[in-house]
Amino acid sequence: MTEFWLISAPGEKTCQQTWDTMMAATTRTNNLSSNHKFNIPDLKVGTLDVLVGLSDELAKLDGFVESVVKKVAQYMADVLEDSRDKVQENLLANGVDLVTYITRFQWDMAKYPIKQSLKNISEIIAKQVTQIDNDLKARASAYNNLKGNLQNLERKNAGSLLTRSLADIVKKEDFVLDSEYLITMLVVVPKPAYVEWQKTYETLAEMVVPRSSNLLFEDHDSGLFSVTLFLKAIDDFKHKARENKFTVRDFQYNEEEMKADKEEMTRLSTDKKKQFGPLVRWLKVNFSEAFIAWIHIKALRVFVESVLRYGLPVNFQAMLLQPSKKTMKKLREVLNDLYKHLDSSAAAIIDATFDIPGLNLSQQEYYPYVYDKINCNLFDFKV
């Protein structure tokens, strides 16, 4: 599990002092987390009304952008199919792994100019990620249709002799063709019934050509036999074959159709290979774009919440903490103790989680410091 806690606390005499205090509390004696400064530039604050409205909008945008990041990651895994072990190395942000990008985060001034208002920056991100989401839907739909058509054809050429296509098994010379009177039929016979078939096939109807049966193909369970008979005996032969648990396949040898099927399969397979490379490249680029946008949204949220919580002038230190699963509970206690003086109501909530069973206040995730979580486990699958 790779989980980060993105927190902020107000500057003491200096922001460096805030950092040093947190470091002392979490690492000096107990090594509760691996910590990094999270650099947020001097953004335009705007009015209080705008900040309050933006707080809600950014929460929704955060959820949307995260969902797009996960969709792109998941689709990368789907496209890579048997190479899922290569997924992680393809999911990078700005050419580095996700943990490195987060821990060394630098605001992208070119993409998101800080001279713009906070609202404008959030709208730039929303527009950018919506475009990625729409493009993903279109590309995924086209590729999935192609893949589905190819799989359907491949399924026809696989499986049991009772259901699979016989086009790639039989040859022209296996059939009596262009006869007014005779027809060659194909019959699936279970392996334990081979001897029975050889004994009885000539007597299943009156007009079966003697010694006309040949074994053309075998799979694990059955064999495919050809047999030649007069056209007028077809119905009688099918009926008797069914009674003896022999399965007559409805198959007509048509060279044109068989050639068309093979050409279609080759075309689909070639198209899939042609689309694979560009699609993976698009997913890599746009995963990076979406992930970078997501972390910028996190920075915006911390900035807005810190100004709302700690007031003006802007004076806070944003910090990124990476706890281990074992240290999370203890780290939470240490942080609550360190910052409880910031908000007296938070202390009441913290105490209430222990003292009043049934209220489930612990689920509210309210803390006296600004807090957000970044989870880098973006996948519903196991790599």
- Sequence ranges of the domains in the chain: 3-150+269-375, 172-252
Summarize the confidence of residues 51-75 as an average pLDDT. Answer: 96
Helices (H) and strands (E) in the chain, counts: 10, 8
**What pLDDT, in 10s, does the model give residues 245-283?**
999 999 989 888 888 888 998 999 999 999 999 999 999
pLDDT of 372 strictly over 70? yes
Does 358 have pLDDT greater than 70?
Answer: no
DSSP, residue by residue, 41-55: -------HHHHHHHH
Model confidence over 114-129: pLDDT tens digits? 999 999 999 999 999 9
Residue of 247, 216, 248, 210 lying closest to 228 (CA atoms): 210
pLDDT at residue 51 tops 70 = yes
Residue 353 has a pLDDT of: 41
Cβ burial, residue 104 (10 Å; 0-12/13-18/19+): middle
- Whether pLDDT at 357 is above 50: no
How large is the average pLDDT for residues 65-92?
91
Residue 345, pLDDT score: 54
Q: Are 233 and 201 a contacting pair, CB within 8 Å? A: no
Whether domain 3-150+269-375 has CATH 3.10.310.30: the reply is no
Q: What is the DSSP string of 225-279?
A: EEEEEEGGGHHHHHHHHHHTT-EEE-----HHHHHHHHHHHHHHHHHHHHHHHHH
Query: With bands split at pLDDT 50, 70 and 90, how would you rate the model's confidence at 364?
Result: low
Confidence at 168, pLDDT banded by 50, 70, 90: confident
pLDDT band for position 222 (cuts 50, 70, 90): very high
Tell me the fold of 172-252: Alpha-Beta Plaits (3.30.70)
